[in-house]
Amino acid sequence: MVIRSLMHHVCAIDAGRILEQDMAIFDKTLAVNYSGVVHTVKAAVPGMVARREGQVVIIASVMAIIGAPPSQVKFLTHGS
């Protein structure tokens, strides 16, 4: 399979303020929102580099800048 373009956007969200979040929920959100991007890029980009062509678009959230409640954990991971 040849991947020429990769667009990545995923969002795990569990509403709540960061000081009230269980660490298991924070870890899950980080795994999906940050590590998911890393794993996807690491799987697709080596072939693009080898062919010297390809494009990657990663879409996060403007809320990473604002960090408004009630979903502060989601916004932290999108600003990673």
Q: Is the dihedral angle over the CA atoms 61, 67, 68, 70 positive or is it negative?
A: positive
pLDDT of residue 47: 94
For the chain, give the number of residues.
80
Q: Which of 34, 33, 37 is nearest to 6 (CA)?
A: 37
The single-letter code of the amino acid at 49 is V
The tens digit of pLDDT for each residue in 44-75 reads 999 999 999 999 988 776 555 555 555 556 55
What is the domain range of residue 74? 5-78
Tally of structural domains, the chain: 1
pLDDT bin (cut points 50, 70, 90) of residue 15 is low
DSSP letter string over 6-36? EEE-------B-GGGS-HHHHHHHHIIIIIH
pLDDT of residue 80: 44
pTM attached to this predicted model:
0.64
